Chain A
Amino acid sequence: MGLYSGSLTFFRLFYDENITYSLSEISENLLEYSFDRFYDSSRPVNYGFVPLNYPDYADFTSSEIFFDNAYVFSVRIDEKKINKKYFDIKFQEMKKEFLEQNKKDFLSKSDKEFIKNALTNKMFAETLPNTSLVEIIWEMDERQVFVSNIASKSFEAVVHLFRVAFDLNLYRDSLIESARKNISEHYKIDDLKNVTPANF
């Protein structure tokens, strides 16, 4: 599914910054903010750039990113979720063990926090993630980025990565934004905002 085959559904994001990057700068930044570099098994959410044809091509050193005036790559997002009931059961067990091992009669607030953090880290490290890949088409000349998924988690990950890696602030497309990008006479946008609903 995506650019190689299947549905071609993409959503558009814009940015206003007048910044241009060379191919080598983009390659460096993609590598620097790549998924593997940032991966931490104890974190609930991990994301980073990967090549378009990932996992056939595991890193940017051997994969193509420039396709006919656009940079094309993906963002991998791994999200881990812990079942709350299961967590509560394990939390009770760990609290008992802690009391026995430390020969204590009660747990202080900091003891509970310590156990909770240790359990959270342990469970996130052991849990398998839900993985998704978001395909990106970046048209630098048009200051627009097409993304294959715009669900809130994916959107947040892509926006964050573009901000830290390229100093670009992405925002969603809308009727007004599309009009603003395509109509140079600003008064027309103001006039549009002033119209009253039509009576069809």
Chain B
Amino acid sequence: MALFADISKRDISFLESEFLTYLLMRFFIGDNSVNINGSDFFYIPVKNIVFSNENTGEKVSIETETIDTCKELYTALKNAKSVSLLQLQLKNETMSIDICLKNAPLRITKVGAPKSIAEDYVDKIIERKLYVRTVFDFYDIMIKDFVNIRISNEWFDFLKNFKNFLKTV
């Protein structure tokens, strides 16, 4: 009998919903800015968030126009539910891109970009391709941040900060 479990075969799918929950928690503790290729962006969760409880299989879908003041959202977070779908807006001074992220498997399921201002066909493709790239750059930066914090002791401080925030609402 093997003394140690084979790490490569461990189910680590829980990390996907942890990542989505991490994005939401970062927003609530006011750390929602991100630098993408030298340009400052920030993100805001919008409209629809789905929570799920891994142990019970229970799902809660919350639709709101006012994320900051939505009591159901805080209740779900207090009840140790993790995020399985997150809609957000990635913004900077000049643009706003709608993104929907889902878990199982983790993926970007929807991207809504601003209308292209270019008139020329080639310019239009280049501009819209840039939006796609911006979304994936954001995704990569967030995953990198998540991994770096998740494997360190900072993770526990981060969770503590968030729990303290929840006590205040």
Chain A residues close to B by CB (< 8 Å)? 3-5, 7-12, 52-53, 64, 67-68, 70, 72, 137, 139, 146, 172-176, 178-179, 181-183, 188-195, 197-200
B151 engages A191 (CB within 8 Å): yes
- The 8 A-B pairs at the shortest CB distance, nearest first, are namely A191-B151, A8-B111, A197-B14, A68-B126, A182-B144, A8-B113, A179-B147, A178-B143
Shortest beta-carbon distance, A134 to chain B, in Å? Answer: 14
Shortest beta-carbon distance, B113 to chain A, in Å? Answer: 5
Given the known inter-chain contacts A188-B148, A191-B151, A200-B159, please indicate yes or no for A72 contacting B107, CB distance below 8 A: no
- Which of A67, A72, A195, A200 is within 8 Å of B15, CB to CB? A195
A198 engages B159 (CB within 8 Å): yes
CA distance A124 to B146 in the complex (A): 51
A11 engages B129 (CB within 8 Å): no
- Which of B7, B105, B108, B126 is within 8 Å of A67, CB to CB? B126
A10 engages B111 (CB within 8 Å): yes
B125 engages A175 (CB within 8 Å): no
Q: List 29 A-B contacts (CB under 8 A).
A: A3-B125, A3-B128, A3-B132, A5-B116, A8-B111, A8-B128, A8-B135, A9-B110, A9-B111, A10-B108, A12-B136, A70-B129, A139-B133, A176-B12, A178-B139, A178-B140, A178-B143, A179-B144, A183-B144, A183-B147, A188-B147, A188-B148, A189-B147, A192-B151, A194-B7, A197-B54, A200-B21, A200-B81, A200-B159
- Which of A53, A72, A175 is within 8 Å of B16, CB to CB? A175
Instruction: Report if B67 contacts A (CB, 8 A).
Output: no
Most chain A CB atoms below 10 A, which of B10, B12, B106, B124: B12
Instruction: Report if B122 contacts A (CB, 8 A).
Output: yes
Q: Which residues, 119 to 163 on B, are CB-close (under 8 Å) to A?
A: 121-122, 124-126, 128-133, 135-136, 139-140, 143-144, 147-148, 150-151, 155, 159, 162
Shortest beta-carbon distance, A186 to chain B, in Å? Answer: 12
Shortest beta-carbon distance, A174 to chain B, in Å? Answer: 6
